[in-house]
């Protein structure tokens, strides 16, 4: 399976930029990406989650994370049958123990146990995503030119847990030496004497231009808005706590509240519960306004 030119195709928006008609580029995709309208071809498929732990939601009905049992992975109905069909013509890389998990898969002609142990022997055990395992597999199989489409790793979990490992492996593709970066036709090309990586401009992978200690923090402009929101939330929480502590029979609310001078001790405030409720409604509206301003500022920054 030695291939020097490989594309890993995921399901984020930039998957539509996949060069389907490049015959020398081997396309590797994963899980249920085949469901995307317009998906044209793949030269190898990866789904190395435990086959006996696929969770099948009802067709046409949304499924939420809390509905999926721990250790299971959501797949569309008929997914195993689809894998079986693909394994007649292209390699389908499955869990190393797939034959024990799904004995029928032992008869799929091109079903392959994912070489997890071999990859760990070469790279160590730092792997946090399927695309990361796929990229390492491609490197072991001689990939020198890697295209990445539909792999953004941009949700909070992906950004924190998965993207660092994936970008670390991209560094293994590029190897030592200076990286030359060019942009053309909506794609970024990262090239060294050792390798080439191609990423759509729309992808956040390898896109950060901020240099720590030498450039201002990219989101520094948001700090005043965050501070105003924080102050309002502190006031809200203080009032909510006071209301909850009020005896049910009492029309009054009494609590300590800091004054304008932080060096002075707080003063005791005593108000009617209805007055506190009106103030709380105002602070709730004010909090929503600051949140709206914060989201608007973030959106404008992302667009520009």
Residue whose tokens read 């490197």? 139
**Mean of per-residue pLDDT scores for the chain:** 93
Question: Pairing between strand 5-9 and 73-74?
Answer: unpaired
Q: Which CA distances in Å does 299 have to 219, 292, 293, 304? A: 12, 10, 10, 9
On the question of pLDDT at 304 being above 60, the answer is no
Reported as type and span, the H/E element at residue 94 is: strand 92-94
Q: What integer is the mean pLDDT of 181-203?
A: 95
Q: What is the pTM of this model?
A: 0.81
The domains of the chain are located at 5-200, 220-303
Contact yes or no for 209/154 (Cβ under 8 A): no
Q: What is the pLDDT of residues 60-107, one digit of tens each?
A: 778 888 889 998 999 999 999 999 999 999 999 999 999 999 999 999
The token pair at 18 is 């996949």
Rounded Cα distance, 219 and 101, in Å: 48
Question: Burial of 147 by CB count in 10 Å (0-12 exposed, 13-18 middle, 19+ buried)?
Answer: buried
Rounded Cα distance, 216 and 28, in Å: 39
Rounded Cα distance, 111 and 128, in Å: 23
On the question of pLDDT at 167 being above 80, the answer is yes
Contact yes or no for 72/53 (Cβ under 8 A): yes
In this prediction, residue 262 carries a pLDDT of: 83
In this prediction, residue 302 carries a pLDDT of: 66
SS3 per-residue string spanning 246-284? CCCCCCEEEEEECCCCCCCCCEEEEEEHHHHHHHHHHHH
On the question of pLDDT at 266 being above 80, the answer is yes
Give me the residues paired with residue 112 across strands. 93
DSSP code of 28? Answer: E
Rounded Cα distance, 257 and 264, in Å: 11
Alpha helices in 124-222 (DSSP H): 130-140, 156-157, 163-174
Taking phi first (over 0 means left), then psi (-120 to 50 degrees means alpha), and beta for anything else, what does residue 116 get? alpha
On the question of pLDDT at 303 being above 60, the answer is yes
Q: Which CATH class is domain 5-200?
A: alpha beta
Least confident interval from 90-104, 113-127, 201-215, 241-255 = 201-215
DSSP string across 60-90: TS---GGGSPTT-EE--TTHHHHHHHHTTTS
In this prediction, residue 218 carries a pLDDT of: 78
Q: What is the pLDDT of residues 11-58, one digit of tens each?
A: 999 999 999 999 999 999 999 999 999 999 999 999 999 999 999 987
Contact yes or no for 113/94 (Cβ under 8 A): yes
In this prediction, residue 230 carries a pLDDT of: 96
Residue whose tokens read 């600051």? 290
Rounded Cα distance, 71 and 43, in Å: 28
């Amino acid at each position: 399976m030695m291939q020097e030119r490989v594309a890993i195709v995921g399901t984020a928006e930039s998957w539509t930029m996949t060069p389907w008609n490049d015959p020398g580029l081997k396309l590797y995709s994963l899980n249920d990406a085949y469901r995307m309208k317009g998906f044209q071809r793949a030269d190898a498929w990866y789904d190395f989650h435990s086959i006996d732990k696929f969770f099948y939601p009802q067709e046409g009905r949304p499924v939420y994370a809390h509905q999926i049992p721990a250790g299971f992975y959501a797949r569309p109905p008929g997914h195993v049958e689809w894998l079986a069909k693909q394994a007649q013509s292209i390699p389908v890389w499955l869990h190393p123990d797939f034959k024990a998990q799904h004995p029928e898969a032992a008869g799929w002609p091109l079903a392959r146990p994912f070489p997890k142990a071999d990859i760990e022997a070469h790279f160590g055990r730092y792997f946090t995503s399927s695309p990361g395992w796929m990229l390492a597999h491609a490197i072991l199989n001689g990939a020198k030119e890697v295209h990445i489409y539909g792999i953004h790793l941009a949700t909070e979990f992906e950004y924190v847990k998965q993207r660092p490992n994936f970008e670390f492996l991209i560094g293994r593709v590029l190897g030592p030496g200076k990286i030359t970066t060019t942009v053309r036709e909506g794609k970024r090309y990262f090239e060294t004497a050792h390798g080439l990586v191609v990423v759509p401009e729309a992808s956040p992978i390898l896109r950060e231009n901020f240099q720590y200690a030498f450039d201002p923090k990219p989101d520094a402009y948001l700090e005043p808005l965050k501070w105003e929101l924080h102050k309002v939330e502190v006031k809200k929480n203080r009032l909510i706590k006071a209301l909850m502590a009020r005896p049910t029979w009492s029309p009054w609310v009494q609590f300590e509240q800091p004054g304008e001078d932080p060096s002075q001790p707080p003063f005791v405030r005593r108000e009617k519960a209805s007055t506190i409720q009106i103030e709380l409604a105002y602070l709730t509206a004010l909090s929503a306004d600051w949140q709206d301003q914060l989201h608007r500022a973030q959106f404008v920054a992302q667009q520009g």
